[in-house]
Structure 1
Amino acid sequence: MARSAEEARRPATGARIRRATGKRQRARRLALTVSFLLFPITIFYFSPVLVIEGALAGAVVGSMLVFLLQFASALVLRRAFCGWLCAAGGLQEIEADAVGKPARLGWRTRIKYVIWVPWFASIVACAWVAGGFTTIDPLAGIPGGVSLNNPLGLGIYFGIVALFFVPNLFLGRRAMCHCICWMAPFMVLGGKLGRAMRVPQLHIDARPETCVGCGKCSKACPMSLDVPALLHEGAIADAECIQCGACADTCPKDTLSLRFGRMAKRAGGA
């Protein structure tokens, strides 16, 4: 009788879990959409150009503060910002419903580092020429704290929107997150440093022994990762994972779960 009662409870428990995970993805998509709608206000706080201008003046500007915060938060949250709060990510996930096809990965994921390294080196060089950072001015280049406070800013805004929108029509969903995002390397490095320091992190935990190979996780992944191929370590450690939890929320066997803790490698790779 006890066993029968336990089996009778399982469908109800599974239904509650599915409802909860469905709500999580709806909340995540809503947060991304709101972030994108606020992009005309916040865009200059992510500007790679203002950082260089600030460095030449010896000033820590708003976008540098944001990049430093992304690096610091990634020690614990890895790339969760990309999955939950990024305005450009929100734009791309809205677009993904129309595009549908997965992104082409491979060597393309390295392009952003080819862009990032000389850009970061130029920031360091400009700061050295200026004699170091001597002031902190979060609103430098952002009068009144609002990015698009004059018509001239519209060209920049629509240029960035086009940069993160048009190539995905040909390269697949969230392709520009993989290829050109200048913010991603800050979080990738922060996440790797946090794991090396054995800091508890937000991550996708895995029980590969329960995987049935249905492929639903890979179809749900907004970053087009081959999730079943990444399960062998007991956690999704790939640098392109954005901790969105979409794979875990679609898994029919609870093989995957979004959790907080140390990403310890399991014995025997299981």
Structure 2
Amino acid sequence: MATRQKIRIGLVLFSFFLFPATFYYMSPVLIIEATYGGIVNGSFIIFVSLFLSALVVGRGFCGWICPGAGCQEAIMQVRNGRIKKGNWVKWIIWVPWIGAIVLLAVKTGGYRTIDFFFQTKHGLSIGDVYALMVYLFVLMLIVIPAFTVGRRSFCHHICWMAPFMIIGRAIRNRFKWRALILNPDVDKCVACHVCTKNCPMSLEVEEMVKKNDMSDSECILCGVCIDNCKKGVIRYSFD
């Protein structure tokens, strides 16, 4: 395994190790409760930050920092089936959810205060038995699809954070400002299929290379395709 991938795997596993303490800061439920009280909570700030980061680094959070990534990377060692369909499913979850938040904010008169640590205990997510039950439920949302459907199923089908970054990346692609991207050298490709086979997000990477277009809303910029290619076909660039 390339050194870069060892670092990446180490980062997401460490993030997963911290997940019991941090999962409230990514909660899709607490943001609703906080909005009802006119409060900008931690998950609100995190979701906005993910959108803003995607304007420059796309879904890099998903590949390098997300705790759910650490969990799923571990499961991929025993269940590594590719996923080819269903990316639209998460939008069925996200659109009504974000719509409910907006309507609730309007109905309650908007946001009046900021509490980044809303509902946490001394800044930590798990502070009582109820929080532990919530954590275990969220964990099952990640683990069960990974085992039953395939690699990173949660990212494809359930994740409520991914759309923020997908939208941010789409805006960047529309206006074409400089950002972190994958850059292929088509002439070097020998069609060995290694990039496609190893992509954690089950993307048709080789076809993307042949088309000289590496933009895909499900790409998490993890660099696995870069580090597995012996011909050096793909590289990171800031263009």
Query: Does the alignment reach a TM-score above 0.5?
Result: yes
Question: Partners of 1:235 and 1:258 in 2: how far apart?
Answer: 13
One-letter code aligned to 2:97 = W
Q: Within 5 Å, which residues of 2 pair with 1:244-259?
A: 244-259=222-237
Structure number with greater Rg is: 1
Answering whether residue 170 of structure 2 is matched by residue 192 of structure 1, we say: yes
1:143 Cα offset (Å): 2.8
Answering whether residue 34 of structure 2 is matched by residue 27 of structure 1, we say: no
Q: TM-score, normalised by structure 2?
A: 0.97
Determine if contact 1:215/1:228 at 8 Å carries over to the other structure: yes
Question: Partners of 1:102 and 1:259 in 2: how far apart?
Answer: 27
Question: Partners of 1:117 and 1:125 in 2: how far apart?
Answer: 12
Unaligned runs of 5+ residues in structure 1 are 1-20, 262-270
Q: Within 5 Å, which residues of 2 pair with 1:118-267?
A: 118-261=96-239
Unaligned runs of 5+ residues in structure 2 are none
Question: Partners of 1:186 and 1:24 in 2: how far apart?
Answer: 26
Question: Partners of 2:47 and 2:210 in 1: how far apart?
Answer: 32
1:113 Cα offset (Å): 0.6
Partner of 1:85: 65
Q: TM-score, normalised by structure 1?
A: 0.86
One-letter code aligned to 2:44 = M
1:235 Cα offset (Å): 3.8
For the aligned residue pairs, the C-alpha RMSD in angstroms reads: 1.2
1:233 Cα offset (Å): 4.5
Q: Within 5 Å, which residues of 2 pair with 1:15-94?
A: 22-94=2-74
**Which structure ranks higher in relative contact order (CA pairs < 8 Å, sequence separation ≥ 6)?**
2
One-letter code aligned to 1:30 = G
DSSP-derived class of the 1:166 partner: helix
DSSP-derived class of the 1:145 partner: coil
Question: Partners of 1:229 and 1:176 in 2: how far apart?
Answer: 24
Question: Partners of 1:235 and 1:74 in 2: how far apart?
Answer: 18
Partner of 1:110: 88
Determine if contact 1:195/1:201 at 8 Å carries over to the other structure: no
Q: Tell me which stretches of 4 or more aligned residues in structure 1 moved more than 2 Å.
A: 232-235
Determine if contact 1:168/1:174 at 8 Å carries over to the other structure: yes
- 1:181-212 superposed Cα distances (whole Å, 9 cap, x missing partner): 00000000001111222221112111122211
- 1:100-121 superposed Cα distances (whole Å, 9 cap, x missing partner): 2212x22x10000111000000
Answering whether residue 99 of structure 2 is matched by residue 99 of structure 1, we say: no
